Structure 1
Amino acid sequence: MSSISTKASHGSQHSHEKPLYSTSHNIGGKFSQPKVQHRKGLLGTLARHQIDAPLVAILTILGTYALFPNSFARKFLFFQEYDPVTNTYEKSWEDLYFCLFWVTAFTFLRAAVMTYILMPMAARLGATTDRSILRFAEQGWICIYYSCSWVLGMYCIQLTPTWNNWFVWFHTDQFFDSYPLTALPVITKYYYWLQFSFWIQQMFVLCIEAPRKDFLAMISHHLVTVSLIICSFLLDVTTFGTAVFVSMDLADIVLSLGKCLKYIGMPDSICDPVFACFMFIWIYTRHFLYGHIIYAWTIYAGEYYSKSTHYTIIGLLLVLQSLMFFWLWSIFRIVYKMFASKGGVVDDRSEDEEETVTAPEHVHHNTKHRR
């Protein structure tokens, strides 16, 4: 889940102001690659090689599988415990190979899409500083991924008896239908493990790239989320996990879109309605719908698990909800500042970010300096 603060640099700066990040300079009629500083040590090395190192690993696995289809490489690409009669996959510890491959793949895809698609796009759309270009790329990737994952997740949840309607998405008394879910439909199995891989990769990126002001809140959120995913696997309640995914992903799509619009200098008349839409979706999905999930677990799970297991999951669900309320407070604070300043949505985090930023290796983009 992305953090709540939403501001980007506007298209113009006063001549006496020093930008947080330098823009690319026109040298000899060509735009030079901007100077991007990285963290030192092992973390900096990992941050600089988010494209080439994963690509080598991916090509090695794909090449091995192409030459030797029945080799060990197959485990990285496909699940193993398939039942052709029911068209489902059983649980297996070998599924972790699939997860490892996709953590690597998501690292490569994120860095490559940011570097070669989203950063040039940001420059063409009007982003004027290295910072705004990098942030546009980060949020653009989040918007793309969550758009895909939310659509696929909604498809998966509608295949289960849990689905209710478009107002209250879940039948709370159906979460334990067909319990235990040791076997999953093909589409659900791939969706769930791709989501798990994505969250592991998100934690990896959060640790290797420059820390933000809300780092502790974000890493806490990621740890709780990954813990809940692991518990859903172990306790055979992946329907709960899918419900949590779809109730969380929608708000991030709109939030990331709104941030992208800010980073390219779109006027407040466009950005503010997007932010208002985000506020409504946040409250509806992350408090109303997610509240139904907590209620379902609290009321019905005690019949299937011990008290310690039951209350441990309740604790994790409530910690996640507490973080949602923490960010809801940030949303209201932003709204207050927006009305108080009459200057549109502002970012109370950006001023506290370090001036040193990290980016994938081989970051190439052109930016035009505007007065």
Structure 2
Amino acid sequence: MSAKPANRRRRSSSVTTALRQVPLNKQTSNINMRETVKPLTKGAPRRSPDDLPERYKSLGLSADIKSGRWMLVPSSAFMLMMIPVILWANQWMLIDLGLMGSFTVNPFAWMIFPSYRLSNGLYTKGVLDFVFIGYYIIFWSFVRQFVTLYILRPLGRKFGIKGSKVMRFTEQGYAVFYFGIMGIAGILVMKQLPTWWYKTEHFWLGYPHREMTWRLKTYYLMQAAYWCQQTIILALKIEKPRKDFKELVAHHIVTLWLVGWSYGISLTYIGVSVFVTMDVSDIFLAFAKCVNYVNEAWSGPPFAVFVCVWTYLRHYLNIKILYSVYTEFNKIPFDQRQAFDPLNDNWMVGWMKWQIFVPIFLLQCINLFWYFLIWRILVRIVLFDVIKDERSDDEDSDSESKQVGEADKAE
């Protein structure tokens, strides 16, 4: 076998060939690599503190309804609220055009206006009142979120409130808004009643008080809708829970018990009286807390006024109401205390006295618990010059308040 020529060139490998095709550094030294390198993804823009959190932004009406998000999103609650209004107006338009009979029942009116109007212009109660309450749960959801997110939240920022205090400020600001309206409304309603100002014997004289003015019925059902909506807010924990969460749940349950029971058995006179004691005192409580969030140095005078108002309304007058239930129940006409017949709207047999007494007494016990916390603040300030803020575990660790902070529990 003949030998291969010694001078034959060795064949280059494919790897070597490929490497030769790669440009050398000296060939690309005039290229600015920094200019050619681009980030793969664009960084997310930093969210402004004024931007609403994502939970308050709509995902579309249908998705908001399915998820219950409409209670947080004002635009979705507003659209839900307007649907019955548009349908109600549409039916009246069809009647005006002669396309529907003038006596056609408009079912959407049951949602917007009180039902069961009598020929004398007064109102009575019935199952359609639940439809009215359901609609105004949506109404209060819209009002609450709109006021807190678009009025009070920017206002809190303008006052220089930061962090979790902003949410607390909006919660208490809304309390001032709501109780300010309903407190005044309650006083105006009560002024038209024989019970003005806490003439307790008229809770029972002339019972049953089945017929109501438009103002009284609307006021009562709006209160019922508000407390139902607040209970849902509490159950969903839309507001940050505090250490007294259980007491607050008990307060809402007892309040709903009082509202429903007093309305159902035609004791609206006593119900209005209880509402006034609660709502008016809550105005001063919420206002004192708002002032405290803005500037702790200003919170002393509002807190002092609040303690006086709270003492008079939530304790003196409420105990007066309790005493009336205990001692004046028998002023109910004798014929109305002879039979327990709910189907015929007859309720007031002897043992029903305790069905009225117990929820008001439980409410007073909860108020006394909060009253103890209020006085503990005063004792620490006056005797020991120690101001301690007991907050819920879910809040920021920074001190949010001094004098009014512990009274945050007093809802």
What TM-score, normalized to structure 1?
0.79
Q: Is the 8 A contact 1:77 1:98 kept in 2?
A: yes
Which residue of 207, 224, 245 corresponds with 1:179? 207
1:33 corresponds in structure 2 to 51
Q: Aligned partners of 1:98 and 1:327: how far apart in 2?
A: 33
1:52-109 superposed Cα distances (whole Å, 9 cap, x missing partner): 4422321211111111144321110012211242x21111111111111111110111
Q: Aligned partners of 1:153 and 1:288: how far apart in 2?
A: 18
Structure 1: runs of 5 or more not aligned: 1-26, 164-168, 357-371
**CA pair 297-198 structure 1, distance change in 2 beyond 3 A:** same
1:312 corresponds in structure 2 to 355
**CA pair 347-36 structure 1, distance change in 2 beyond 3 A:** farther
2:155 corresponds in structure 1 to 121
Shift of 1:286: 0.7
- Classify the secondary structure of the residue corresponding to 1:207: helix
Q: Aligned partners of 2:47 and 2:233: how far apart in 1?
A: 35
Q: Aligned partners of 1:311 and 1:331: how far apart in 2?
A: 30
1:121-174 superposed Cα distances (whole Å, 9 cap, x missing partner): 110012122x111111111111011011111111111111111xxxxx311212
Aligned length: 315
Structure 1 outlier segments of 4+, above 4 Å: 27-32, 34-38
Shift of 1:336: 2.5
Mapping of residues 255-294 of structure 1, within 5 Å: 255-264=285-294, 266-268=295-297, 270-294=298-322
Letter of the 2:276 partner, please give it.
V
Shift of 1:306: 2.1
Mapping of residues 134-145 of structure 1, within 5 Å: 134-145=167-178
Q: Aligned partners of 1:91 and 1:311: how far apart in 2?
A: 23
Q: Is the 8 A contact 2:176 2:283 kept in 1?
A: yes
1:83 corresponds in structure 2 to 118
1:336 corresponds in structure 2 to 379
Percent identical pairs in the alignment equals 27
Q: Aligned partners of 2:46 and 2:75: how far apart in 1?
A: 29
Letter of the 2:277 partner, please give it.
S
Mapping of residues 93-108 of structure 1, within 5 Å: 93-108=127-142
Larger radius of gyration: 2
- Classify the secondary structure of the residue corresponding to 1:178: coil
1:211 corresponds in structure 2 to 241
Q: Aligned partners of 2:359 and 2:225: how far apart in 1?
A: 20
Q: C-alpha root-mean-square deviation of aligned residues, in Å?
A: 2.5
Q: Aligned partners of 1:93 and 1:111: how far apart in 2?
A: 29
- Classify the secondary structure of the residue corresponding to 2:299: helix
- Classify the secondary structure of the residue corresponding to 1:348: coil
**CA pair 289-231 structure 1, distance change in 2 beyond 3 A:** same
1:300 aligns with 2:334: no
Q: Aligned partners of 2:280 and 2:291: how far apart in 1?
A: 17
1:262-299 superposed Cα distances (whole Å, 9 cap, x missing partner): 112x142x211111111111111111011111111112
Letter of the 2:80 partner, please give it.
A
**CA pair 32-192 structure 1, distance change in 2 beyond 3 A:** closer
- Classify the secondary structure of the residue corresponding to 1:110: helix
- Classify the secondary structure of the residue corresponding to 2:123: strand
Q: Is the 8 A contact 2:254 2:359 kept in 1?
A: yes
1:244-270 superposed Cα distances (whole Å, 9 cap, x missing partner): 000111111011111111112x142x2
Q: Is the 8 A contact 2:71 2:142 kept in 1?
A: no
Structure 2: runs of 5 or more not aligned: 1-44, 57-63, 93-104, 338-347, 398-411
- Classify the secondary structure of the residue corresponding to 1:316: helix
Higher relative contact order (CA 8 A, sep 6+): 1
1:298-321 superposed Cα distances (whole Å, 9 cap, x missing partner): 122245422332112211111111
2:27 corresponds in structure 1 to none
Letter of the 1:138 partner, please give it.
E
1:353 aligns with 2:387: no
- Classify the secondary structure of the residue corresponding to 2:212: strand
